[in-house]
Each structure stands twice: as C-alpha cells, then as structure tokens.
Structure 1
Amino acid sequence: MAQKPSIPKGTRDFSPAEVSKRNYIMSIMRQHFEKFGYQPIETPSFENSETLMGKYGEEGDRLIFKILNSGDYLDKVPTEELQAINYKKLTGKISEKALRYDLTVPFARYVVQHQSEIEFPFKRYQIQPVWRADRPQKGRFREFYQCDADVVGSTSLWQEVELVQLYDSVFASLGLNGVTIKINNRKVLSGIAEVIGASDKLIDFTVALDKLDKIGEEGVKKEMLEKGISEDALLKVQPLFSFTGTIEEKLEKLSTLLADSEEGMKGIEELRFICDNVTQLGLKKAHLDLDVTLARGLNYYTGAIFEVAAPTGVAMGSIGGGGRYDDLTGIFGLKNMSGVGISFGLDRIYLVLEELNLFPETVTTATKVLFLNYNEVHAFAAMKAVTFLRNHNIKAEMYPDAAKEDKQFKHVKNRAIPFIVKEITEAGYTLKDLNTGEQLQLSLEQLLQKLQ
C-alpha cells in the first residue's frame, strides 16, 4: 500500500473554514492599514542571499532557509573544499538565494531599488508568508504570514504614536480586548549597557534580555555571564528585573539610572513623547506599557521598539512587534532614510481569537442556499434562479447530480448551508430554513428578499 503523504514539520494545510477565518483577520487589517494611509506592495518569496544574511544577527542568520542553486550545484565546487566540510564557505557556493525571513529587510531592498519612483514619506503595508528554520511549537511555525505596516522617509515620532493607534484599531475591530502594547527604546538599552560597562557586549546583552519571558531571570543572567558580561555588570542591571509602576514612574527611575548616558537620556525623551501623546489621544481597547526588559533581538532597531502581548490568561507569545530603524536602507546604499514599522502575527492572532471564541459565526458561512436537483428539467430551472441570485450577490449553488434526496440533504448538513430550495413550480420556490424548520412558498423576488 502506498505510504500516506505528509507535509514538513512547522507547516500546515488550511481547511475552508480556517481560510475563511484567516481572510477575515486579513480583511480587517487591510481596512485599517488603508484607513491610516498605508499602500500595499508585494515582494518575491525568495531573495538573493546577500540581501538577507547579516541583517538579523547570528541567531537570525541560522534560521534562514537557503535554496540550493539549480542544476548540478556541486560541479563548480573544488573537491578539496567539499572534503574540508566548511559549511559556511560551502553554503555561499551552492546557494545564492534564500526564502525571506521577514518582510522588513525585503521592504528596505524594495525602497532602495525603487527610490526614484517612490513619494516619501512612503507608507506601505504587506501581507505575505515568511519562512524560518525554527523549532516548531504552539504558535511557532516554519511557514507563516506576516502583516506589516511601515513608513520610511520621516524621523517624526508621530509615526510611532500612529502605529500604536493602528495596533489598537485593528485589535478593537477584532474584538480582542485586554491586549498590552509594550514599548521600549534601543537607545535606553544602549544607555544601560553603557552605564554597566558592557557597551562592547550590547548585542549579547539585548539578545539575552529579549529571552526573559522564555528562560526567566536566572536564565538571562546565565547567558549574559556566558557571553562575557561581568558579575559586577549584572548587579548594576538587577533593578531592570523588578521595574514596576506607571509609565511616568518607570521613566523617572530610568532617568536616575541613565543620568550619565547621553544616548540613554535621548531614548527616555523619545519614550516620553510617544507615551504622553498616546495617553492624551486615548486608546480604544489596548493598554500601553513601558517594559524596560523588552529588547527585540534584531540588530536593525535603533529607536522605539514594540511588542504586543495577548490578553491575560491566554497562553501565547507575542502577537505583534516592531520598531524604529534608522540605518536599514543604508546597508543597501541609501543613507539617511529612517523608518519605523510594526508587524501583526496572523497565525498567533488566529489562535487567540479561536481560544476566546471571537470569530463571528458568519465568517465561515459560505454558500447561503442550495437548490436540490431532481432531474434535468428541474436542474435548468434551478440554475436560472441560482444565476439570478448570484447576480444579486447571494452565495447560491445547485447540487450537481440528480441524487437521492437523503444524499443531498446530508451534503447540505455537512456543509452547514442554512437554506435549501426543495421544489420549483409555477407557484414559486419552496424555501426551507434548516435552522428553524420554517418552509415558505416564494416568488423569485421574494426569495431574493428573504435571503438578503
């Protein structure tokens, strides 16, 4: 017997109901993206390796899926190099392309490549899949969609204020209350590294700190020690692990801690501007909080950083994140092009909505009415009515075969279609509501009005 086919770990098939729910989330995102003035773009699923490598830090680079060159990709590699088994050197010769890791770096490449065609500031949104060679677990997949909104060509902190509002608007429309939008600033983290004497270990410091919610305080300290950050530095950083109070109180504590760091104080002022204005403008459903341990371990962030936590009680990692990146396009030759952006984790948002039962029932309703099929004459009359209803935006169809009525009813039930048309006579159409059992004799116009 043939072996049952399977799919790679970390990937999924989606049923019609699941696709409908995902489309529902994406349609709400698109609605708000465009309401806020963001324009859609798309980029290829794979990029040249040199575009992606070195942009995500050492850990990120390891998670990039490489694509083997087509044809006999080993032919051009000298035998001695194959025998040396130097994987890093070999990879560059047999793989020139890679699946995109996120949408931000491809966006930076897009901006540089099309800079003469773009009107700046440029606000774009992008909803496409990305790939990461990560260890699959709940809410973490190797293939998943990102839904990004970015603006480049402006250093104004009003963009950060707007992005917080955008998060809030999307989650409010999804009915997702109690979401926490966490904010921090990479300049603050640089300042902390400076005052504890670990400026040369900034990347190691932020990468470890970013794992606080995963490995806990002791795990973070252990990793920092392993990376060469001293015991004395850890004592100085200890207050970060128990930073409590309102946003204003946290900012005051940071001001004391970072009084001798010009970079750190600049970060505090940026945070104060964003938080004060968001507070005064107000949020619909979300809660803004300053999290001084938030690091977001991607190298390209230079200013404000964001991460969105699901409502309390839902066991889920972050459902969104982003930040300010002043130098990203510089790596592709376009200097002085600041940008800031956020990303929505579609798959995790889906799981949260599912767990909290927040999807409207109508989301998965596909066909609204199905006409039964008894014979060719009846089928033609049914298709005339189906065509009429479709022309008036009613989701209608006819059972394709003149099968036994029981079989057709079973099909309707299995697909959760709410209405059927049983009979078609000169007197009209016999419509049955399968939820209430009500049966009506209607003209074609009356049938349309009922289904609308």
Structure 2
Amino acid sequence: MAQKPSIPKGTRDFSPAEISKRNHIFEVVKKHFRAYGFLPIETPAFENSDTLLGKYGEEGDRLIFKILNSGDFLGKVPQDLYAGRDAAALAPKITEKALRYDLTVPFARYVVMHRNELDFPFKRYQIQPVWRADRPQRGRFREFYQCDADVVGAHSLLQEIELVQLYDAVFSDLGLKGTTIKMNNRKVLAGIAEVIHAQDLLVDFTVALDKLDKIGEEGVKTEMRAKGISEAAIAKASPLFSLTGTNEEQLQKLADMLKDSEQGSQGVAELRFILEGVAQMGLQTAHLALDVTLARGLNYYTGAIFEVSAPKGVHMGSIGGGGRYDDLTGIFGLKNVSGVGISFGLDRIYLVMEELGLFPEALEKSLDVLFLNFGEREALASLKLAQELRKAGLRTDVYPTNAKIQKQFKYANNRNVPFVVLLGDQELRDRTLVVKNMASGEQTTYAMDALGEFITSF
C-alpha cells in the first residue's frame, strides 16, 4: 500500500480561493509600495550561512534552517569531532548554506554587493517567503511570506514618519481599521539598561522585556534574574512594566528617567520628533502609540522600532514590524550606511482579514463567463467568441466536454460563475447566443456580431 502523502509541519498548501485572497493582499501592498517610490528586488531563497548567523541573536540563530552540504558531507569531518556529538562544533563542517530567516539581512548583503549600481538613498521593496524553525501554531508558520519596504543611505527621521504613513495607508486600504502601530527606540532601551547599571546585559534585558505581553511582569523578572540581571536593576526598571498615559506623558516620564543618559535622551528626542511629525501629517485609521516595553529582540536595530497589532478583539500576534538599523551593512564591510524599514506579515494579515470578513466578495468569482458545451461544432464556435471576451478583459472559459447540461451548470455554480452562455445548434443557425444570469435566472439573447453589447453590460 502506498504511503499517505504529507507536508512538513508549519507549511501549507493553498487552494485557488486562498491564492486569490493572498494575491489581493499582495496587490494592495505593492500598490502602496510603488506609490511611496519603492523599487522591487529579489534575493535567493538560501544564503551562505555566515551571511545569516550571528545577525539575529542567540534565539534567532537557533531558528535558522541549515542546508546540509551535498555529497558525502560527513567524509571530511574528523572522527573525534563526529564522536563528540557537539552539534554547534559539527555544523560548520557539514553545512555552509541556510534558508533565509528574514529579508532584511539578505537586503543588507545585496546593498553591499551592488553598491556601485545603486542610487542612494535606495528605496526597495521585497515580497518573498522566509523560513524559521519555530514551533508551529496559529499565525506562526515555518514557511511564510514577508513584505518589506526599506530605505538605505539617509539618516533623516522623515523616513520613519513616512513608513508609519505607509503602514496606515496599506491597512486602511485593506479595511483593517483600528490597527495600533507601537513604537519604541533602541537608544531608549540602551539608556534604561545604562541607568539601571545593566548595560553589559543589554541583549538579555531587551529579549526578556520584549516578552512582557506573552509571559507577564513576573515572567519577565524571572527571566531577567536567570540572565544575571540584579534585583536592584530589576527594581529600577519595574516602573516601565506599567507605564501609562498619553504618548507625551510617557515621553516626559522617560525623559526624566533618562536625563543622565546621553544615548537614552537622544532616543527620547527621536521618538518625540516622529510622534509630532505623524501628528502633523495625520493618519487615516491606525493609531500610533508609544510602548516602552517594545524591544524586538533582533540585534541589528539601533533606533526607532515598530510593531503593529491587529484591531482589538482579534487574538493574533504582531502583523507587522520593523525599525532603524544604522550600520547593518557594516557587518559586510560597508560602514556608515543607515537604513530603516518595515515588514508586513502577509500570513497573519490574511488570518485577521478572514476572521473579520474583510475580503471583497468579488474575489470568490474565478470566472466571468462560462460557455456550455453542446457538441464539437458549437464548442469551436464558443472558443472563437471566448477569445473576443478574453481580449475585452473578461475571464472566460468553455466547458471541455459535452457532458450533461445539469453537470455543466453545477460546475458553473461551484465556481461562482455569474454568466453562462448557451450556444447550441439553433443559436448557431440563428447567429445568436443566449446569456443566463446565474443570480437572477434571467436569460438574454444577443446577436453574435453584436457581442459588444454583452461586453458593455459588465
């Protein structure tokens, strides 16, 4: 007996209806990317391991899918190393490539390799799948798409203001009203670590703090203790866990707390500039909110960081995120190239829109017109007319066999076809065709040489 086929955990097949909805999101996102002046690029699905490893922190590195070298990948491994069963030491000997974890680090590599061909500031968008060896759950997959927009080559904070507007424009167009764009600044986090005397444990501090909404205040404190952060430092940081008030009120509290930290004060000033700039520009439906516990545990962020939450009432993780990375290209030898970018989580956006019923009904229509098949002569005539409808932009098909008419009508119903054309022997003789409106049941007769009348009825 043949083994039942399966797919890897965390991956999915997509039906035509699902693809149609996903493409709707892609098209809306692309439309706004282009409107804001971003240009498309693509990078390979896999990169050299040294391009990716060490760029996402310890937790991120563990989630990178590594690709075994081809051929006898164990043949050149020393026996004592193999016998030691040390995965970390063995990995560099048997794998030199890995599936990309995100689109940002490959983009930095792209900028360095193609810097002589680019005009700076360079604005790029990229929509491609990424892979993470995460534990699959609702809204979290091992293979998923990211839709990124980044600018490199300019330090101006006007770009952060524009990216917030871009988020708002896309989500408004998709009908996702009431999204919250949370914002913080890594300089603020570094300043907090400084004033609580935990600057040597900045990464551990931010990784733990970023989990506040998942594991709660006590869970964060427990993790900080486990990482060696002192009780005194945790006590000084505790007010952050429940900081409330308007954006301005929170900024003032931060400014007071960080007045003795040059880096922290700079972070506060950057946050104030962005918040005031967005307030002047205005947003359509999104809400920009300061969140001092937002950390986004990726090592490459250096300034503003963003994370987008779904509308209230929808239980879903972040549906977008990003931030500034002022020297990411430096890890590949190109120093002092600033960058800032945001990402849209297509798969989570899809789930949120599905839950809220936001997809246009028209997406369920896979065909505009279906010609029924009454026989070979009639079908050939139908094919000729179908070509005219296709040239006019109508999605048109001819049923391939002269099966029972009842079966053909059922097929049309299953595909939500709004108009069915009946072209039988009598119609051929009369040079006419009968169009049935599947919703109302009404039938209209058109002359074959007046097909334009039917086209204009759409």
Q: TM-score, normalised by structure 1?
A: 0.99
Q: What is the identity, as a one-letter code, of the residue corresponding to 1:353?
A: M
Q: Which residue of structure 2 aligns with residue 133 of structure 1? A: 133
Ranges of 4+ aligned residues in structure 1 off by more than 2 Å: none
Contact 2:151/2:339 (8 A) holds in 1: yes
Matches of 2:452 and 2:150 in 1, distance apart? Answer: 48
Deviation at 1:423, TM superposition (A): 2.7
Q: Which residue of structure 2 aligns with residue 364 of structure 1? A: 364
Q: Deviations over 1:286-327 (max 9, x none)?
A: 000000000000000000000000000000000000000011
SS of equivalent residue, structure 1 residue 440: strand
SS of equivalent residue, structure 2 residue 370: strand
Q: Which residue of structure 2 aligns with residue 202 of structure 1? A: 202
Counting only pairs closer than 5 Å after superposition, residues 70-149 of structure 1 correspond to structure 2 as 70-149=70-149
Matches of 1:228 and 1:438 in 2, distance apart? Answer: 76
Matches of 2:174 and 2:254 in 1, distance apart? Answer: 35
Q: 2:435 aligns with which of 409, 421, 431?
A: 431
Q: What is the identity, as a one-letter code, of the residue corresponding to 1:318?
A: S
Deviation at 1:339, TM superposition (A): 0.2
Q: What is the identity, as a one-letter code, of the residue corresponding to 2:186?
A: R
Q: Deviations over 1:365-412 (max 9, x none)?
A: 221110000111100111011011001111000000111111111111
Matches of 1:442 and 1:239 in 2, distance apart? Answer: 75
Matches of 1:329 and 1:363 in 2, distance apart? Answer: 41
Give identity over the alignment, percent.
Answer: 67
Q: Which residue of structure 2 aligns with residue 418 of structure 1? A: 418
Q: What is the identity, as a one-letter code, of the residue corresponding to 1:11?
A: T
Deviation at 1:3, TM superposition (A): 2.2
SS of equivalent residue, structure 2 residue 124: strand
Q: Which residue of structure 2 aligns with residue 154 of structure 1? A: 154
Q: Which residue of structure 2 aligns with residue 6 of structure 1? A: 6
Counting only pairs closer than 5 Å after superposition, residues 286-325 of structure 1 correspond to structure 2 as 286-325=286-325
Q: What is the identity, as a one-letter code, of the residue corresponding to 1:363?
A: L
Q: Which residue of structure 1 aligns with residue 269 of structure 2? A: 269
Matches of 1:429 and 1:233 in 2, distance apart? Answer: 81
Matches of 2:158 and 2:280 in 1, distance apart? Answer: 13
Determine if the alignment matches structure 1 residue 240 to structure 2 residue 240: yes
Q: Which residue of structure 1 aligns with residue 453 of structure 2? A: 446
Q: Which residue of structure 2 aligns with residue 220 of structure 1? A: 220
Give the aligned length: 451
Q: What is the identity, as a one-letter code, of the residue corresponding to 1:435?
A: A
Contact 1:429/1:447 (8 A) holds in 2: no
Contact 1:32/1:169 (8 A) holds in 2: yes
Contact 1:247/1:289 (8 A) holds in 2: yes
Q: What is the identity, as a one-letter code, of the residue corresponding to 1:244?
A: T
Deviation at 1:427, TM superposition (A): 4.9
Q: Which residue of structure 1 aligns with residue 164 of structure 2? A: 164
Deviation at 1:364, TM superposition (A): 2.7
SS of equivalent residue, structure 2 residue 117: coil
SS of equivalent residue, structure 1 residue 74: coil
Matches of 2:255 and 2:274 in 1, distance apart? Answer: 16
Deviation at 1:416, TM superposition (A): 1.4
Determine if the alignment matches structure 1 residue 335 to structure 2 residue 342: no
Counting only pairs closer than 5 Å after superposition, residues 172-191 of structure 1 correspond to structure 2 as 172-191=172-191
Q: What is the identity, as a one-letter code, of the residue corresponding to 1:438?
A: E
Q: Deviations over 1:311-353 (max 9, x none)?
A: 0000000000000001100000000101000000000000000
SS of equivalent residue, structure 2 residue 115: coil
Matches of 2:41 and 2:312 in 1, distance apart? Answer: 34
Matches of 1:364 and 1:229 in 2, distance apart? Answer: 54
Point out where structure 1 has 5 or more consecutive residues left out of the alignment. Answer: none
Contact 1:125/1:148 (8 A) holds in 2: yes
Stretch of structure 1 that moved more, 85-94 or 350-359: 85-94
Contact 2:29/2:170 (8 A) holds in 1: yes
Deviation at 1:59, TM superposition (A): 0.2
Q: What is the identity, as a one-letter code, of the residue corresponding to 2:20?
A: S
SS of equivalent residue, structure 2 residue 116: coil
Contact 1:45/1:99 (8 A) holds in 2: yes
Point out where structure 2 has 5 or more consecutive residues left out of the alignment. Answer: none
SS of equivalent residue, structure 2 residue 340: strand
Contact 2:382/2:423 (8 A) holds in 1: no
SS of equivalent residue, structure 2 residue 160: helix
Q: Which residue of structure 1 aligns with residue 395 of structure 2? A: 395
Counting only pairs closer than 5 Å after superposition, residues 341-360 of structure 1 correspond to structure 2 as 341-360=341-360
Matches of 2:275 and 2:207 in 1, distance apart? Answer: 25
